[in-house]
A and B are shown apart, each in its own frame.
Chain A
Amino acid sequence: MTIPGRRTRLRGRPELHTSYASELALFDTRAKRVAVAGLLVGALALPFLLTDEVLQLLALCCVAAIGAIGLGLVTGYAGQVSLGHAFFLAVGAYTAAAISGDPDGRVIGFGVTNIAVWLPAAGLVAGLAGVLVAPLATRLRGLYLAIVTLGLVFIGQHVFSEWSALTGGAGVGRPAATLEFFGQPIAATGPFGTRDQKLYWLMLLLLLGFALAAANLARSKVGRAFTAIRDRDIAAGVIGVNLARYKTIAFAVSSAYAGCAGALLYTVTGFFDPGSFSLLLSVQYIAMVLIGGAGTISGAIAGAFFITLLPRFTRELQAWVPFLSAQPNEVPNVFQVETILYGVLLVVFLIFEPRGLFGLWVRVRNYWKAWPFSY
């Protein structure tokens, strides 16, 4: 029996909704809410279980995931293949580094070290760069757009290696943005934890915020318009989607995410040089989106963790496979295995599971949904 005006739930009928609000909720079933809460608690507790070295790596994973979510929005959702992600990462990284840099130092710096200033600024400047690039996307499609955004990476690399007043110059580099919140250093070893523990918590919370925002965007009017443009752009126009406007929004949001990720990425290691923002970095992000599962937020996060943890994993492999060497001048060594594994994984995923890690998850879920029956 249902009581009017009260939210009712029937046992064993998780997909039976009695209001549109509960049907449209982000985590619409009890199982999802429990799983997400459990995952979150587990992730927050990790610093008590792992070494600082691993935590630093996981912090990097979280930042990479922010960038991957951004690329996922423009490439996975809106279908605009962009190889220019490294450029937007660079714009964000240099904006943040310049704002928080030492005013009397060797490179440009404005001395505003507050993360509440330089992080939004990095997102904003990179987002504006995205808006400037967006008109290309309204003219070009598919491979042609990919090639043009590729040009962006080369232009960026040239500018950043020449403009040594900002970047410190090729092979030299400059310090990254300072992690400070209204005068309080966020990541410094103290009574409440080591630098890496705090770093990990900060990046995890930021990832959470960015992921929620992206998930909301994806399920809204804007996300639907993105998918419409990806699937059939002419039909999208005819039903009332302003193609130029939504492609611009896609590029702006994606670049803003990249900018924030770029700003945060090098705070973990503390130093960066213009050589980092090469085509390889763009390709890594494409790999994150594809291996994770294009067109999903959770897939982009999974892909980012996967790709970022891969080198570490192959290094661990050395303990198990005796003939592998850790020295780069011996054959076969772990670096070769890493490169090969990287390529093989991309090929294997594209052929056998184009939906990526997310697709694997869907398969597992569907199997257990019907268990013990086969369908």
Chain B
Amino acid sequence: MVVVTAVAGAERAAGRGEDDPILRFEDVRLHFAGVRAIDGVTFTVGRHELFAIIGPNGSGKTSIFNVLSGVYRPQTGRVVFDGVDLVGRRPHTIAALGMARTFQNVELFGNLTVLDNLLLGRHHHIGYGPLAAIGWLGRARRAEIANRAAVEEIVDFLELERWRRMPVGLLPYGVQKRVELGRALAMEPKLLLLDEPVAGMNLEETEDMARFVLDIRDELDIPIVLVEHDMGLVMDLADRVLVVDFGQVVATGSPAEIPHHPDVVRAYLGGSASEPPGRAGPDGRGDPPRPGDDPRREDPR
């Protein structure tokens, strides 16, 4: 069941103290042959926090997610999630510990209906084996009915009623993104990882998604790690922002201070590609920000 608890803003602010974070990412290094995808990144996520990770393309944001969900295994470092070290664990065990994620490119099961996709999210909440399934009696039947009811709450929460029985492959892109969010929520996670939830969406879909993300944080009180290129969205929603570039931390701070942080400005607008901004000299040898350039805009160059 989805427990709907509204948490007052003040209480959430108090929870931002980092005494007992839900996630500690400690000096993680992930190398592919010579490429340093993650090069000694450290951060923590609080139990009531909406934590955003931003950075130019190829800076290691998705690699961080893949380390968190067990798809990649880092060479060194520790990833402590709710008191458990995740390094070396397989994806399905990490999922069972309460980590849920969405993907940058929608990774839904296209031939299955919205309901089946959501029910798959509840996979480890359904506790019967193949023999019970063959009989479809007693426990298996009860479990299926109870979980069907649980999934209906997600349908209601994300306003997916119109599409329940549609194969997700036929749905519009924005709705698919929402179903994927629903599948992650169906897992009843302790931490939600959102990889570019509004990539490729139009303004209306983006605003819908922003509303759902805020609802998740405020009503369900699930901490969120958000990777996103839409700077407007990040600055509006996030409690704290981590900027990465070339697999290294450039800066961590509140949405108010990040756009003006000199290293961030250099990473996004200044330093040449061969000059990792974290290692650039204090004078900053790159081009100075041009007047009229919005530092919050992502520069694909």
Contact = CB atoms under 8 A, between A and B. Distances in A.
A234 B108 CA distance: 11
A127 B108 CA distance: 31
A253 B130 contact: yes
Interface in A237-286: 237-243, 249, 253
Interface of A: 20-21, 23-24, 26, 213, 216-217, 219-225, 227-228, 231-232, 234-243, 249, 253, 295
Interface string B41-73: 000000000000000000000000000011100
A274 B71 CA distance: 45
B92 interface: yes
Contacts of B95: 237-240
A243 B92 contact: yes
B130 A227 contact: no
A79 B108 CA distance: 16
B202 to A, nearest CB: 25
B151 to A, nearest CB: 10
B285 interface: no
B81 to A, nearest CB: 14
A239 B123 contact: yes
B187 A217 contact: no
Contacts of A235: 103, 107-109
A227 B123 CA distance: 13
B145 A216 contact: no
B136 A239 contact: no
A150 B103 CA distance: 36
Interface in B237-280: none
Contacts of B140: 216, 220-221
Nearest to B103: A235
A222 B130 contact: yes
A217 B130 contact: yes
B111 A295 contact: yes
A228 B109 contact: yes
Interface residues of B, number: 42
B119 A216 contact: no
23 contacts: A216-B133, A216-B140, A220-B136, A221-B140, A224-B112, A224-B116, A227-B109, A227-B116, A228-B120, A231-B109, A232-B109, A234-B71, A234-B91, A237-B70, A237-B92, A238-B107, A239-B95, A239-B183, A239-B184, A240-B95, A240-B96, A240-B124, A249-B130
B170 to A, nearest CB: 14
B137 to A, nearest CB: 9
Interface of B: 69-71, 90-92, 94-96, 100-101, 103, 107-112, 116, 119-121, 123-124, 126, 128-130, 133-136, 140-141, 143-145, 148-149, 183-184, 187
A237 B69 CA distance: 9
A350 to B, nearest CB: 17
A135 to B, nearest CB: 15
Given A26-B136, A240-B95, A243-B92, A221 B112 contact: no
Given A220-B144, A240-B187, A232 B107 contact: yes
Given A217-B130, A221-B126, A238-B91, A20 B107 contact: no
Contacts of B109: 227-228, 231-232, 235-236
A24 B145 contact: yes
Given A216-B135, A227-B116, A238-B101, 19 more contacts: A20-B145, A24-B141, A216-B136, A216-B140, A220-B144, A221-B143, A223-B133, A231-B112, A232-B107, A234-B107, A235-B103, A238-B94, A239-B184, A240-B95, A240-B123, A240-B124, A241-B120, A243-B92, A249-B130
Given A221-B128, A227-B111, A231-B111, A242 B148 contact: no
Contact of B148 (A20, A225, A253): A20
Nearest to B107: A235
Closest CB pairs A-B (n = 8): A240-B95, A220-B133, A237-B91, A235-B107, A216-B136, A231-B109, A240-B124, A213-B134
B134 to A, nearest CB: 4
B111 A239 contact: no
B92 A240 contact: yes
Contacts of A242: 90, 92
Nearest to A245: B92
A235 B123 CA distance: 13
Nearest to B127: A221
A216 B148 CA distance: 16
Contacts of A236: 109, 120
A8 to B, nearest CB: 18
A217 B133 contact: yes
